[in-house]
Amino acid sequence: MLNHSQVQFCIDKMGEMFPEAHCELNHSNPFELVIAVLLSAQCTDALVNKVTKGLFEKYKTPQDYLDVTLEELQNDIKSIGLFRNKAKNIQGLCRIVLEQYDGKIPSDRDILIELPGVGRKTANVVISVAFGIPAIAVDTHVERVSKRLAFCRWKDSVLEVEKSLMKKIPKEKWSVAHHRMIFFGRYHCKAQNPQCEKCPLLDICREGKKRMKGKMK
């Protein structure tokens, strides 16, 4: 596996490639971000942004989501995968936020994880993006990049990947590193057809070297 300085070198290179790396889910407050991230499970940010454009015009507060039937909310998000379960989770989340947190999204990760439809990844995105608390959210891109570049082990669970990154990246850089890795994985080191031949990290990437050798045969 790569050591601390090698990982930092990779993160810096990703920063040179994607200096504007940021959260691509459109939102204007922590509540909208929670809804957007919840909707993004197994779905592209681009599709979520299409849906939330109208959704956030119609629903402004947690109470708004509870003032409609479950069927109406399902219909409003039906172009998104798992929309039935997501609609149910959104209403459950809104109910708890109103009853227990005065209608405001809590900034504590452990509390967020207890909300319907909110897992550790979603909670990490929210505390990082909405509240500026250092965190690394391991989505499919972060996991893929971490394993291909040997930031961690191939067999590591998502939580183990997160812990490995937290050890090897300075805390003050967790959030920016998370966004850089997402952009790197989404636009360069893709699941299919990664751009190894023009990657500035090829010399340090175990997976890239294997792929390039395979192409030469």
Catalytic positions, written as ranges:
121, 139
Alpha-helical runs (H) found in 41-197: 45-58, 62-66, 70-76, 83-101, 109-113, 120-129, 140-148, 158-168, 174-187
Q: Which residue do the tokens 């592209």 mark?
A: 44
**Cβ–Cβ under 8 Å, residues 33 and 115:** no
Distance CA 40, CA 7 (A): 28
Which amino acid is present at 82? L
Distance CA 198, CA 123 (A): 34
Which amino acid is present at 8? Q
Q: Please give the biggest Cα pair distance in the chain.
A: 63
